């Protein structure tokens, strides 16, 4: 079913309504514009019946409403303007107003007016402003679109005549408006005097009104000796109606009636009607006369229809409404989670009657487990994880003897540092300290060391704080034991073994060729030096110690060709115990012995067996020098123990002669005797 279109109301552009707000009522008059405005009707509405007022105006086809703005919400400034065209004077007056308020008052809240003057060269300009901080007259949304505002001091301009002022004051809002004609021009005052209730407040209000009259009289040029009499005369002739004080001269009322056509029957009853409606009638004269610019103030600037967001922001920018909405939102946020959880629980209880008890039991177990794990995390350390981090931060050349862990004191290490490759023992320990600090698990690492021995080996202590025990430390690939184990680092992988075997076979072939060349050497030619080749090692590095995974093969260059190509080309194992062919130490192969194959020594396992890493390290052990009794007496206990250890290692060498072995035995006994003492 189609909706019937609403009839549109035709607005009469010649109609104008003027309203004055009192404490308990709206007083509205309806008039028609013209050189002499005609008052058609007057009507009063309740202060809360804005809807009735809007409906009455709509019924009268009036779309222009002027509301009297109290003097308490108005600022009045008077300036002198040079005589010029009216539009030029208004433009100059607008510039002065903008410079006076510096943008603090919107232009729609500023009224301008040019007054007639007795001078032929100057005119008096009036600037009336309505600050945004002043509410003035509160108007609802039904009247605000058609409302314009006329300042009460502008209406007093019409009522001022002769030497007697026009006064309008209201104790409720404290507004006081005074207009007074003088020889220098029109004096207009708009001020506010707040007062408390009671007798003392009444006296303060009267005193403030009297003070305003005195200031206005002095501004009008009245002699100070006549000011007291002037104020007394005004106070006696003023009419007080409740909290309102009105002082209008009869000549002012007669002049007002001469400028209007009143078609209201109540206007013929007497001057009381004119006095009660004097302010709205004067505002009507201002709105339809040359001072119309003073009656076009608006509360808000005209703009296009706001969007939904703008309307929402404007609607809830009012403090009271915003506070109510915020309180409601807070209540919903506080109650909604509780209500939804309660409803969900009831639904689960209805669907699964036994589920809540089981769920609560499981939940308690989970909470207890979480609490237990939390306490364990506070009081204990993940020892296995920290030991793994320590292992990844320990470079080659460091042997750790003891580790102490504490949640409060961190980790304490004690170990031995040795030189590795081109790094000294101190550099190795420094590298370990750097790795610990860079791991993120440890911090503030520092270490102490003892006096190193003759080999550059020393004992050290290292301390570090465990700052993040559960932090995931990712070491470099060359330090990560999970990527390459210790056995792979020391002995290589299967791929390395295959490469080493192929290199060893190639080296054996070169040895056979060298032996064949020696067999064809002419007689009397001296034998060449022995050639030492290492699988995977250049010939220039033959003097260095061979790694366990790359055993050294020594071939005598003066060996005869009958040694046998099979024995010469036999591959040497790339890991573990190697085989080497050598001649007897201290003897040279000459004559018939040179034609025999060299003695083959099969290396056993363990230290001193002649093969493997332990045998290589033992053969390189240094034999300590002899020392005197005075040198022994000057040694400390630690130095004596170190020397005793070196002698013990040197005695295990199998290539010692009888004299050296006996001297080492005697030195060993002397040191033991020294330590016993």
Give the model's confidence band at 272: pLDDT under 50 very low, under 70 low, under 90 confident, else very high. Answer: confident
- Three-class SS state of 243: coil
Final residue belonging to a domain, choices 248, 275, 291: 248
d(CA 632, CA 438): 45
d(CA 170, CA 584): 136
Give the model's confidence band at 569: pLDDT under 50 very low, under 70 low, under 90 confident, else very high. Answer: very low
Q: What is the pLDDT of residue 564?
A: 37
Question: Higher model confidence: residue 411 or residue 570?
Answer: 411
Q: Is residue 171 in some structural domain?
A: yes
- Beta-strand relationship, 65-69 and 15-21: parallel
Tell whether 342 and 397 lie within a shared domain: no
The mean pLDDT value for 271-286 works out to: 91
d(CA 379, CA 594): 76
Tell whether 193 and 227 lie within a shared domain: yes
Tell whether 292 and 427 lie within a shared domain: no
- Beta-strand relationship, 458-466 and 15-21: unpaired
Q: Which helix (H) or strand (E) holds 191?
A: strand 185-192
Q: What is the pLDDT of residue 406?
A: 84
Q: Is residue 313 in some structural domain?
A: no
Give the model's confidence band at 529: pLDDT under 50 very low, under 70 low, under 90 confident, else very high. Answer: very low
Tell whether 30 and 142 lie within a shared domain: yes
Tell whether 439 and 462 lie within a shared domain: yes
Q: Is residue 605 in some structural domain?
A: no
Q: Are 286 and 294 in contact (CB under 8 A)?
A: yes
Q: Are 126 and 188 in contact (CB under 8 A)?
A: yes
Q: What is the pLDDT of residue 535?
A: 34
Handedness of CA 507, 510, 515, 518 (dihedral sign): negative
Tell whether 421 and 569 lie within a shared domain: no
Tell whether 120 and 197 lie within a shared domain: no
Query: Could you give phi then psi for residue 465, rounded to 5 degrees?
Result: -90, 140
pTM: 0.47
Tell whether 438 and 352 lie within a shared domain: no
**Where do runs of H (alpha helix) occur along 63-198?**
86-101, 152-159
Give the model's confidence band at 503: pLDDT under 50 very low, under 70 low, under 90 confident, else very high. Answer: low
The 10s digit of each residue's pLDDT in 436-492 is: 998 888 998 888 888 777 777 888 999 999 888 888 888 887 788 888 777 777 777
The mean pLDDT value for 151-161 works out to: 89
Tell whether 366 and 400 lie within a shared domain: no
d(CA 548, CA 492): 10
Handedness of CA 604, 607, 608, 610 (dihedral sign): positive
Q: What is the pLDDT of residue 605?
A: 36
The CATH number of residue 457's host domain is 3.30.1360.100
Q: Is residue 620 in some structural domain?
A: no
Tell whether 192 and 225 lie within a shared domain: yes
Using alpha carbons only, give the angle 465, 370, 381 rounded to the nearest 5 degrees.
20
Q: How many domains does the chain have?
A: 7
Q: In what order do the strands lie in the sheet with 458-466?
A: 398-406, 410-417, 458-466, 442-449
Q: Is residue 621 in some structural domain?
A: no
Q: Which domain holds residue 179?
A: 162-248
Q: Which of 491, 439, 498, 426 is nearest to 465 (CA)?
A: 439
The 10s digit of each residue's pLDDT in 134-145 is: 988 999 888 999
The 10s digit of each residue's pLDDT in 326-369 is: 999 999 999 999 999 999 888 888 888 777 778 788 889 999 98
Tell whether 394 and 472 lie within a shared domain: yes
Q: Does 69 have pLDDT greater than 70?
A: yes
Q: Which of 81, 154, 143 is nearest to 111 (CA)?
A: 154
Q: Does 543 have pLDDT greater than 70?
A: no
Q: Which of 370, 140, 166, 146 is nearest to 250 (CA)?
A: 166
Tell whether 389 and 413 lie within a shared domain: yes
Q: Is residue 290 in some structural domain?
A: yes
Q: Does 528 have pLDDT greater than 50?
A: no
The 10s digit of each residue's pLDDT in 602-642 is: 333 333 334 444 555 556 678 899 999 888 988 888 888 88
* Measured CA distances, 327 to 293, 324, 334 (Å): 44, 5, 11
Q: Is residue 361 in some structural domain?
A: yes
Q: Does 168 have pLDDT greater than 60?
A: yes
473's tokens: 């430390």
Average pLDDT, the chain: 78
Q: Does 129 have pLDDT greater than 80?
A: yes
Handedness of CA 29, 32, 33, 35 (dihedral sign): negative
Q: What is the pLDDT of residue 494?
A: 65
Q: Is residue 624 in some structural domain?
A: no
Q: Does 431 have pLDDT greater than 70?
A: yes
């Amino acid at each position: 079913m189609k909706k019937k279109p609403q009839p549109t109301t035709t607005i009469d552009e010649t109609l104008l309504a003027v309203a004055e707000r009192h404490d308990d009522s709206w007083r509205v008059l309806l008039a028609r514009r013209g050189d002499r405005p005609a008052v058609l009707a007057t009507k009063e509405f309740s202060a809360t019946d804005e809807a009735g007022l809007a409906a009455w105006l709509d019924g009268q086809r009036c779309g222009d409403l002027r509301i009297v703005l109290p003097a308490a919400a108005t600022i009045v400034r008077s300036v002198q303007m040079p005589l010029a065209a009216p539009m030029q004077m208004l433009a100059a007056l607008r510039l002065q107003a903008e410079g006076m308020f510096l943008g603090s008052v919107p232009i729609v809240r500023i009224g301008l007016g040019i007054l007639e003057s007795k001078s032929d060269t100057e005119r008096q300009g009036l600037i009336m402003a309505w600050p945004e901080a002043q509410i003035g007259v509160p108007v609802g949304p039904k009247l605000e679109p058609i409302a314009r505002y006329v300042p009460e001091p502008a209406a007093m301009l019409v009522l001022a005549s002769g030497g007697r002022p026009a006064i309008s004051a209201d104790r409720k809002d404290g507004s006081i408006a005074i207009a007074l004609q003088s020889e220098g021009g029109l004096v207009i005052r708009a001020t506010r005097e707040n007062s408390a209730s009671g007798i003392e407040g009444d006296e303060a209000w009267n005193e403030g009104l009297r003070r305003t009259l005195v200031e206005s009289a002095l501004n009008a040029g009245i002699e100070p000796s006549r000011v007291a009499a002037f104020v007394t005369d005004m106070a006696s002739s003023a009419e007080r109606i409740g909290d309102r004080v009105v002082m209008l001269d009869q000549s002012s009322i007669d002049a007002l009636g001469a400028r209007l056509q009143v078609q209201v029957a109540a206007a013929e009853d007497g001057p009381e009607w004119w006095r009660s409606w004097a302010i709205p009638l004067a505002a009507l004269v201002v709105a339809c006369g040359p001072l119309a610019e003073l009656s076009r103030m608006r509360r808000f600037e005209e703009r296009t229809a706001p969007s939904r967001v703008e309307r929402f922001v404007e609607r809830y920018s009012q403090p009271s409404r915003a506070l109510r909405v915020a309180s409601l939102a807070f209540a919903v946020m506080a109650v909604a989670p509780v209500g939804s959880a309660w409803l969900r629980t009831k639904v689960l209880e209805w669907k699964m009657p036994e589920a809540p008890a089981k769920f609560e039991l499981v939940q308690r177990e989970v909470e207890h487990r979480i609490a237990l794990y939390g306490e364990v995390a506070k009081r204990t350390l993940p020892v296995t994880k920290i030991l793994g981090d320590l292992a990844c931060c320990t470079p080659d050349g460091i042997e750790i003897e003891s580790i102490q862990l504490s949640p409060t004191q961190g980790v304490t290490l004690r170990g031995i540092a040795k030189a590795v490759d081109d790094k000294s023992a101190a550099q190795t320990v420094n590298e370990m300290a750097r790795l610990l600090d860079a791991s993120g698990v440890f911090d503030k690492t520092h270490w102490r060391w003892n006096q190193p021995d003759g080999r550059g080996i020393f004992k050290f202590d290292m301390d570090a704080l465990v700052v993040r025990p559960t932090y995931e430390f990712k070491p470099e690939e060359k330090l990560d034991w999970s990527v390459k184990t210790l056995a792979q680092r020391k002995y290589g992988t299967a791929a390395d073994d295959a490469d080493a075997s192929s290199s060893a076979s190639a080296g054996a072939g070169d040895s056979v060729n060298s032996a064949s060349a020696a067999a064809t050497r002419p007689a009397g030619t001296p034998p060449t030096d022995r050639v030492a080749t290492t699988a995977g090692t250049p010939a220039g590095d033959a003097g260095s110690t061979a790694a366990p995974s790359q055993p050294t093969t020594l071939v005598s260059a003066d060996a005869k060709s009958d040694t046998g190509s099979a024995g010469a080309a036999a591959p040497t194992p790339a890991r573990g115990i190697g085989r080497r062919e050598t001649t007897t130490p201290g003897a040279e192969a000459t004559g018939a012995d040179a034609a025999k194959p060299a003695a083959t020594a099969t290396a056993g396992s363990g230290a001193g067996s002649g093969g493997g890493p332990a045998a290589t390290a033992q053969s390189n052990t240094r034999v300590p020098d002899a020392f005197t009794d005075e040198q022994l007496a000057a040694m400390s206990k630690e130095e004596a123990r170190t020397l005793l250890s070196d002698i013990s290692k040197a005695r295990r060498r199998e290539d010692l002669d009888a004299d050296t072995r006996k001297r080492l035995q005697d030195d060993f006994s002397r040191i033991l005797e020294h330590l016993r003492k």
